[in-house]
Structure 1
Amino acid sequence: MRAVPQYAELRCLTNFSFLRGASQPEELVERAKQLGYAALAVADECSMAGIVRAHGAAKRVGLRLLVGSQFELDWGEASGDDAAPFTLTVLACNLIGYGNLCQFITKLRRASPKGSYQLAATELSGAELADCVVLASPRRMSEPAQLQALARWLLTHFIGRCWFGVELLRLLSDEMWLHRLREVSQENAIPLVACGDVHFHVRSRKPLQDVLTAIRLGNPLTDCGLELQPNAERHLRTRLRLAHTYPEDLLAETLAVAARCSFSLDELRYQYPDEVVPLGETPVSYLRRLTYEGAGRRWPAGIAARVQAQIEHELALIAELRYEHYFLTVADIVRFARSRHILCQGRGSAANSVVCYCLGVTEVDPARMSVLFERFISKERNEPPDIDIDFEHERREEVLQYLYARYGRERAALTAVVICYRPRSAIRDVGKALGFAAQTVDTLAKEHQWWDGQGLQPERLAEVGLSADELRVRQLIELTRQLLGFPRHLSQHVGGFVLTKGPLCRMVPIENAAMADRTVIQWDKDDLDALGLLKVDCLALGMLTAIAKALDFIGQRKGYRFEMQDIPAEDAETYEMVCKADTVGVFQIESRAQMSMLPRLQPRCFYDLVIEVAIIRPGPIQGGMVHPYLNRRQGKEPVSYPSEALKEALGRTLGVPVFQEQVMQIAMIAAGFTPGEADGLRRAMAAWKRKGGLDKYQHKLVNGMTARGYSLEFAESIYQQVHGFSEYGFPESHAASFALLVYASCWMKRHHPAEFLAAMLNSQPLGFYSPSQLVQDARRHGVEVRPVDVMDSCIDCTLEDLPHQPAVRLGLRLVAGLRQEAMARIVAAREVRVFDSAEDLARSAQLEQHEMKLLAAADALRRLSGHRRQQVWDAAALRAQPQLLREASFDEALLELPAAPEGEEILFDYAA
């Protein structure tokens, strides 16, 4: 009996070769380990998007992972009878080879539109892929002359490190194909090696792979023909089956190829840029100097001993973990933004850091808060910090382009986001592939509700006339279930930027984003965390745009630059307004749920706003924390603490845990968690819905608390609160950062309502309420709001002087459907001459009839045409004229219409 041979699979696609591979990287790795493979090469097509997941799985199960990629090549303009397309699988031998491969993928992706690449054999040089080995897989039944041409090309570029990959897939032509390849191999001294061309980990995934092919081609399965694989052999086969399929020498050669490849992702060493450190300074000395200079500005009367001790503690930990460059780079980004008067503010766990506050990255004084630095950086955890910075949403692009310009496209890129199949998208794509009617599939997808879970429910199927008893419907149910969670494509993160000292493109491939002038890496934030790579989140926040514009308006009225720090603290009139829930349009506390809470909580100071921001969240609500806190605040029940030790952690919130930091402190004080374990609990809470993993902390938390004298009832209640926080609880530092913007927006609404309204309208789309609702609310507060008028309105809303407070003139931007170019032409034409009729306006500003109709519907032509019905008539009467007659006037009698009734006017207002 033939012995079961050792085997290394050298060509394997995952589902990160989008709509090609039908198994997750983890599934492939685990299956290869089960089958006793010596190694597995994950080689997605022109991509490294799935390699980090495969690396993590391989480390967990103890399988050797080979890192590579594969490419489809043609011969370009040299294509002829002796040239046939082929697949080239490239495996990295070492760190240099991996860098070369990533740089090569980057070159191909950057030269093509998002999601595509092109590669001709005549354009590829072996030097580009030095320290790599290659496997060429010709198209089945290529002619001998074509194989000879391919052999000559391989020897020219990859001599001594190339193989012909042989895929024997139980086809009638296998024996003839192997014979033909052996002849070419022997004539050219290019060895043959077995390959599986793996697309899925088990053969039962073949139907899903067929569906993915149909989705990729945009055709139903019945029309895919030879594009579908003829059988299910492209799975990870048992070594016994391989022994009966391949000659012994081809199987043994897989081990020889694998032996050439020693690279592991663990070899990657991340280095942060060092441009921000001036000559004569070290990162440690420069960060220390900037921190204490900032501390002097923050506390001009002197730094408290407690604060100084915290600064020294943080600087020591930052130096020990070698994160100085990261903090200095973030500070440089903030410095640039402020030099351009771009309003920005750090938030999230970074607000726990005194160093971040001194550097100007965050605006919440940690001395006023119960900070927990371990929430931000932990030596025990030794994972990279994560600093989120919000910028004005209309000006964030300036910051992103600054980073590209400062560090170059080879060293800076956005993080990717993996867009995965969810129930509705899976139903649509699988349904179309199986040939269901488009209307049926669309209705079924739309009718799927979140409470239906992940599967297709019988009642939903019945609603569109389908029965689960039918074979095709059962296939729809099963294949939809299998497709859920599969990656569909890469998108760009909302603002996570990766910066490196050396070429980033040698660490991870970079490709074009869908948005112009944006580039993204092929890894997402979870991949970065797994490898310990640092990123900084440059996020967009619309309210910062509104606040910045309101500050400009206020400054224009006052005659000097008015900034956030000029807003008076703890203004009684502002809190009085907030307590009445008069908060339409302000930040965070404008929803109905927040409005219903405000009169009960009665915020009277800044910290009350911090609690208000945090308490109306699924975490505190589902954890049963809202009513106990309100009852204690209102004196309906006494304030009590489970122990004196916990009083320090819970004192600011009347004995009720409201923030994530408090849950961590309870775990450390009452259950004996280390800071790293407490942060692990926080991370499990944050990822519970996606990954689970929270239950493993129940035993340690409950037992740890009972062992320290706490009652079982209290311990269980704390665990239930932890579960509640897993539904989305706020860290105190994050709530405090947002509370600053809450207070600023409320103060503006109370003391400068006209300026605040104009700024809000100029920052749309934004917030909870429509422009119409914002205008109505401002009028209730005594603000005069003047309508859009082509004779007075600019593109943006503006302020017009009145004796006591300005009036707001609505801008052309509020005319629904009117393009920016048309608005600019109106304003430019008005600077040349005053319009005397609607026809004059259309002629001077070169407006088309539909643009005039939009203006008429918005009542913007009133001073030219009169009432709205007349405006609409005049606009409809305009006709496009030839260029020679565009300046000519036509005399004809005007038709005067009666004004529209009030009801019709209201309909016009809603439509416009």
Structure 2
Amino acid sequence: MTFLLAVTDFSTGEGVYPASMAVALARRLGYDCVASWDQGLHGWPRLREEALAAGLTPLLASRFTWRGMDFGALPHTDRGYAELCRLLTDQAHGREGDPPRDCVLLAETLEGQEYLTREGFAPYLLAHARNQVEAMAGAARGLPAAAPQVLRFRREAGLELHRLKRAMALRSTVARVEPLWEARDAAVTRASWETRFPGADPAITRATEGILEKARAWRMHWGDWVMPRPVCARDLDLDAELQSRLRQGIPKRYAAPPPGLEARIELELELIRRKRFAGYFLAVHDIIREARATRTCGRGSGAASIVSYLLGITNVDPIATNLMFERFLSDARVDPPDLDVDFAWDERDEVIASVFRRYGRERVAMVSNHVYFKPKGALRDVALAHGRPEAELKVLARFIRGWDEGMKGIQDNPAWAPILAQAEALRGHFHQLSVHPGGTVIAPGALWHHVPFQPAPAKEGVSITQWDKDGVEDYGLVKIDLLGNRSLAVVRDALGVLGDRAPAPLHWNPRLDPATQDLLARGDSMGVFYVESPATRQLQQRVGKGDFETLVIHSSLIRPAANRWIDTYVKRNRGEETYVPSHPVLGSLLSDSFGVLVYQEDVVRVGMAMAGWSHEEADKLRKILGKDDCSVKLPLFEARFREGCAGRGIPPAVVDEVWDMVRTFRGYSFCKPHSASYAQVSFESAWLKAHHPATFFAAVITNQGGFYAPIAYLGDARRHNLVVRGPDANQSEWAFAAEGDRGLRVGLMAVKGAQRDEVEALLEDRGRRGPYGSLEELLERVPLSVPTAEALGSGGAFDRWAPDGDRTRLLWTRLGGIPEGVRPRPTDPFDRAALELELLGLTLEIHPAALQRARHGGAPHRAADVARPGHQLRFWALVVAEKTVRTEKGDLMQFVTFEDETALCEAVAFPDAYRKRRRPFRVGDILPVAGKSVRQDGLVVLEVA
């Protein structure tokens, strides 16, 4: 009996089949065992999952190159698996490594077999189609051979795809590349194999059967959790240490401990003891303490834990906020704990570096992302492999709309038909590895006991696992997400500037501040973390409430498929629709949200309360809703849900209503602890905007920390009565900065063409020796290059020494020659605005829309006029946000946010208006807008003509 060695698309530049296709082919060819046969174990978790789903036995194996020869290994013990992972890890890091013991070793050539034999190993020669005669000759000399079938391709189309991938990997063309395989390497059926070898050499058959028996007998670790351990854990009672740290955390969190605190602590600690999770919590706590980060935001389901809160991992009190601990941990839940911690974006890399230093590079890796071909990348790479010129590809890229939306303008061109067909054949194929935004695994010992890891692309000193998030978690490695967040830096920097004016953290609760609540209720939240998108601002305006609980609901309720239920929620909240629960269960579970499912926990709760499911069963539905294959598996859950509800006598109409809400959780949704954690940061951001707007806007723009471009934030700053002042060599820092309560100074970072190292040298000198009395003095003290001096001069940083505004003459005199491209400071304010837009990407005095209106006219209205419904309007505006969507009929339409000096306004271009335009609205466009202001869903918006 034989088995199949499958080369998949994870063999970059070789494999032509994704795991699902390889497994399907294995079944069709008659095999009941399939092994991975890629260079590395990147694709193993996916092949394993597909094989088990198809009823096949998956076998772990990997190819590797050693001393210029090709081999493969099938582990048959835990030690053999660890040694294979170690070899793959060593080789990925540029070390030779040693062939693994406790593995069946297969040599691709007789020469390789003889070499390994001399080195003390007992390899088999892989008797595939290409070296069958060689294998039998070796067997005659006493060298063992085995003949598992190798699946590289099945038909001629597969060989052509292999040739294409080879060309893409080598950055060559199909016409020039030499393929690794030949037509005779095509896979054969199991029946064909069984007629090929038994009569020729029974020893080959017996060897193959023996390998299969050995490999099948080993049970690989899979699904048992591998917990990190803190560095100090050698002789430490982890549970006692965790309890001690919690006690230290109580006075830091509570002036007076609330009722129920001790009971909640003991409940969680007992569960943590039973599941042996103490080391995990201590490791995360150590990471945060070691990082010494100024601000963090623990989020995700872990924010439901009082242990996390008292350790300082999270910042929202789960008792006061009524967070569901079972969403994070329970006896029934089979998933490991998952703690996500955000750090300021510019501190995150150092946090990760400190983890590698503390635990050692053999124990730590970040998680990889498996990146699959996207339409533009696929078409580009295929076209280049066929020798098409770069200029042609840039033109064609405009026609690509996505895998499902087609590549319009290309299909009808016969010359492009074969290239398009091959590009579409790459759909679903693995392309390359990237680095997960923050997922990090820490093993209790050497990580290669569990998974191979390799250097991260373009990230010095960091390794990544060969498996992605799903593979790592399915195996049992517990991932810690260490993520970067720009808004934490905004809050950090703004509070740092305020100094003594900032409130003391223990007594500061921005949620209770009336001015902050009023700002959020108005939807005046541009720049405010997590709640500044047009959809969220509009929802805030429609409901008109700015309290914490409402903000938590709103930040979870905004989901792509939830529009109908958002409208229902708004009407019930405003009292426009009487809310009577359609079933008592909904009344008890969803009273705060007026019967609308908001959080992931709501899905779990209705599954338990209405269908009679256990927590574990209901949580499976919650997880399925977030998976890529949701559309395949969801109907099975719907049938079970309806059956369970029917058994409990719940009317079909109620079941229909609830299931319609459940479907809105497809794609992405949030748990309440996650939204509550982010809402805490939202309130801190909103407090700063309400009380210290200049400091707030300076921090937002400097950290690039928001939904909008800097020019849009400057417009909002002006609407809040701030004065924007230009760059100045004696006043500006690198960053944007507040000047008093109402001034906002542009940072030198905005000056295009100025080299940062030179500017920082200028700032260091100014800080050490004082301001500059003249440009001559500046240039004597700081050796600026001509390009940097010209850029600063053009941007206005030297205007204090050119009272007549003649920047050209100023620099000409000081630099000893004609400065190229330096123009005088215009006297006309509109000309100044045009130059500022060109040189700084922003305007200081005049809004870009006002500039265009003055130049071109023809727009009698302003964005503020949209607030009065029923009028036909024409005005100039800057596009600051847009979102293109499809209607239920498949037509394209667009939601747009316009801005001028008077207001922001929301607009919609329905399909007819969208089709009339030459191209969609794009962020940064400054253009005339026409349409009618109408009242829609309680708000006034512009319907674009």
Give the alignment's TM-score, normalised by structure 1. 0.85
1:261-286 Cα shifts (integer Å, max 9, x gaps): 34443368554233366677522333
In 2, Cα distance between equivalents of 1:607 and 1:549 = 27
The aligned amino acid for 1:55 is R
Residues 553 and 755 in structure 1, CA contact (< 8 A), matched pair in contact too: yes
Structure 2: runs of 5+ lacking an equivalent: 841-945
Match of 1:79 in 2: none
Do the aligned residues in 1 keep the contact of 2:33 with 2:58 (CA within 8 Å)?
A: yes
Counterpart position of 1:584: 526
> Quick check: 24-33 or 581-590, which moved more?
24-33
**Whole-Å separation in 2 of the counterparts to 1:242 and 1:437:** 49
1:204-227 CA deviation, whole Å, 9 max, x = no partner? Answer: 533322221221122332232x33
Residue correspondence of structure 1 range 284-303 to structure 2 within 5 A? 284-295=239-250, 297-303=252-258
1:854 to 770, 785, 791: 791
Corresponding letter in the other structure for 2:599: F
2:832 aligned residue: 905
Change (3 A) 1:900 1:289: same
Letter in 1 for 2:441: V
Partner of 2:536: 594
What SS does the corresponding residue of 1:576 show, helix, strand or coil? helix
SS at match of 1:71: strand
Which residue of 1 is the match for residue 14 of structure 2?
20
Partner of 2:321: 369
Are 2:418 and 1:475 equivalent residues in the alignment? yes
Instruction: Describe the shift of the 1:406–1:329 C-alpha distance in structure 2 as closer, same or farther (beyond 3 A).
Output: same
SS at 1:221 equivalent: coil
Cα shift readout 1:182-206 (whole Å, capped 9, x = no counterpart): 555555x422333545324666533
CA distance in 1, matches of 2:610, 2:656: 13
Q: 1:168 aligns with which of 129, 139, 144?
A: 129
1:105 maps to a residue whose letter is L
**Partner of residue 764 from structure 2, selected from 816, 828, 838:** 828
Candidates 130, 136, 154, aligned match of 2:101: 130
CA distance 1:439–1:251, shift in 2 (3 Å): farther
Q: C-alpha distance in 1, partners of 2:653/2:562?
A: 19
Could you tell me whether the CA contact under 8 Å between 1:349 and 1:386 is conserved in 2?
yes
One-letter code aligned to 2:259: A
Structure 2 match to 1:144: none
Retained in 2: the 8 A contact 1:849–1:878? Answer: no
Match of 2:301 in 1: 349
- Displacement of 1:361 in angstroms is 1.6
1:575 corresponds to 2:517: yes
Equivalent-residue separation in structure 2 for 1:72 and 1:278 (angstroms): 38
Cα displacement string for residues 481-505 of structure 1 (whole angstroms, at most 9, x for unaligned residues): 3311111111110000101111002
Question: 1:391, 1:20 → 2: CA distance?
Answer: 40
1:7 matched to 2:2? The reply is: yes
**Residue 641 of structure 1 is aligned with which of 573, 576, 581?**
581
The match for 2:91 is: 108
- Give the match for residue 901 of structure 2: none
Following TM superposition, by how much is the alpha carbon of 1:403 offset from its aligned partner in structure 2, in angstroms?
Answer: 0.9
CA distance in 2, matches of 1:625, 1:526: 31
**Cα distance, 1:299 vs structure 2:** 4.0
Equivalent position of 2:410 in the other structure: 461
The match for 2:272 is 318
On the 8 A contact 1:19/1:488 being kept in 2, the answer is no
Q: Cα gap change, 1:551/1:200 in structure 2, threshold over 3 Å: closer, same or farther?
A: farther
On the 8 A contact 1:554/1:562 being kept in 2, the answer is no
Go from structure 1 to structure 2 and tell me whether the alpha carbon gap of 1:878 and 1:258 turns closer, same or farther (over 3 Å shift). farther
Note if contact 1:392-1:541 (Cα within 8 Å) is conserved in structure 2. Answer: yes
Whether the 8 Å contact between 1:8 and 1:38 is mirrored in structure 2 is yes
1:891 and 1:674 mapped to 2: Cα distance? 79
Structure-2 change in CA distance of 1:823 and 1:386 (3 Å): same
The structure with more helix, counted as a fraction of residues: 1
The alpha-carbon deviation at position 748 of structure 1 amounts to 0.6
The CA deviation string for residues 344-364 of structure 1, in whole angstroms up to 9 with x for no partner, is 011111122232223222222
Q: Deviations over 1:444-473 (max 9, x none)?
A: 3432224xx43745x4325xxx43xx4x64
Q: Is the 8 A contact 1:688 1:726 kept in 2?
A: no
Q: What CA deviation, in whole Å up to 9, does each residue of 1:146-172 have, x standing for no partner?
A: x66x5552222143x212223324xxx
**Shift, 1:542, TM fit:** 0.5
Q: Where do 1:831-846 residues align within 5 Å?
A: 831-832=768-769, 835=772, 838=775, 841-842=778-779, 844-846=781-783
Does residue 190 (structure 1) correspond to residue 127 (structure 2)? The answer is no
Between 260-269 and 643-652, report the one with greater CA deviation.
260-269
* Letter of the structure 2 residue corresponding to residue 157 of structure 1: E
- CA separation of 1:838 and 1:633: change in aligned 2, threshold 3 A: same
Which residue, out of 339, 362, 372, partners 1:410? 362
Distance in 1 (CA, whole Å) between partners of 2:623 and 2:802 is 63
Structure 2 counterpart of 1:658: 598
Deviation of 1:546 (Å): 0.5
What is the aligned partner in structure 2 of residue 82 from structure 1? none
In structure 2, do the counterparts of structure 1 residues 221 and 242 end up closer, same or farther at CA, with 3 Å as the change threshold?
Answer: farther
Deviations 1:590-649 (A, max 9, x none): 22222222222112421121122222322432xx21112111111112222123333221
The alignment partner of 1:397 has SS state of helix
2:220 equivalent in structure 1: 265
Q: Which residue of 1 aligns with 2:663?
A: 723
Letter in 2 for 1:134: L
Q: 1:312 to 1:18 in 2, by over 3 A?
A: same
Asked if the contact 1:201–1:235 (Cα under 8 Å) also holds between the matched residues in 2, the reply is yes
Query: What's the offset of the Cα at 1:404?
Result: 0.7
Residue 88 of structure 1 is aligned with which of 46, 61, 71?
71
Is 2:19–2:43's contact at 8 Å kept on the other side of the alignment? yes
SS class of match (2:376): helix
In the TM superposition, 1:308-457 aligns within 5 A as: 308-337=262-291, 340-436=292-388, 438-450=390-402, 453-454=403-404, 456=406
Which of 149, 158, 163 is the equivalent residue of 1:205? 158
- Alignment CA distance shift 1:270-1:726 (3 Å): closer
Cα pair 1:270 1:500 within 8 Å, conserved: no
Query: Structure 1 residues 491, 332: CA separation in 2 closer, same or farther (over 3 Å shift)?
Result: same
Q: Is it true that 1:154 corresponds to 2:107 in the alignment? A: no
Q: Give the 3-state SS of the residue equivalent to 2:38 in structure 1.
A: strand
Displacement of 1:39 after TM fit? 3.8
Query: 1:88: how far off?
Result: 1.7
Partner AA of 2:399 in structure 1: E
Is the 8 Å Cα contact of residues 664 and 678 (structure 1) preserved in structure 2?
A: yes
The answer to whether the 8 A contact 2:807-2:823 is kept is no
TM-score computed with the length of structure 2 as normaliser: 0.82
Q: Which residue of 1 aligns with 2:717?
A: 778
Measured after TM superposition, the shift of residue 691 of structure 1 is: 6.5
Which residue, 215, 219, 222 being the options, matches 2:172?
219
The higher-RCO structure (CA 8 Å, 6+ apart) is 1
1:882 aligns with: none
1:812 matched residue in structure 2: 748
| The one of 62, 71, 80 aligned to 2:64 | 71
Deviations 1:410-455 (A, max 9, x none): 11110010011122222222333345554444433432224xx437
- The answer to whether residue 710 in structure 2 is matched with residue 710 in structure 1 is no
Distance change in 2, residues 1:191/1:22 (3 Å): same
Q: Secondary structure at the match of 1:222?
A: coil
Q: Identify unmatched segments of 5+ residues in structure 1.
A: 1-5, 75-84, 112-117, 139-146, 170-176, 880-888
Partner of 1:530: 474
Q: Give 1:106 deviation, angstroms.
A: 1.0
Residue 848 of structure 2 corresponds to which residue in structure 1? none
Identical-residue share of aligned pairs (%): 27
User: Take 1:768 and 1:267, find their aligned partners in 2: how far apart are those partners?
Assistant: 41
Instruction: Give yes or no for the alignment of 1:752 onto 2:702.
Output: no
Structure 1 pair 845/786, CA: closer, same or farther in 2 (3 Å)?
Answer: same
SS in 2 for 1:461: coil
Partners of 1:13 and 1:44 within 8 A in 2? yes
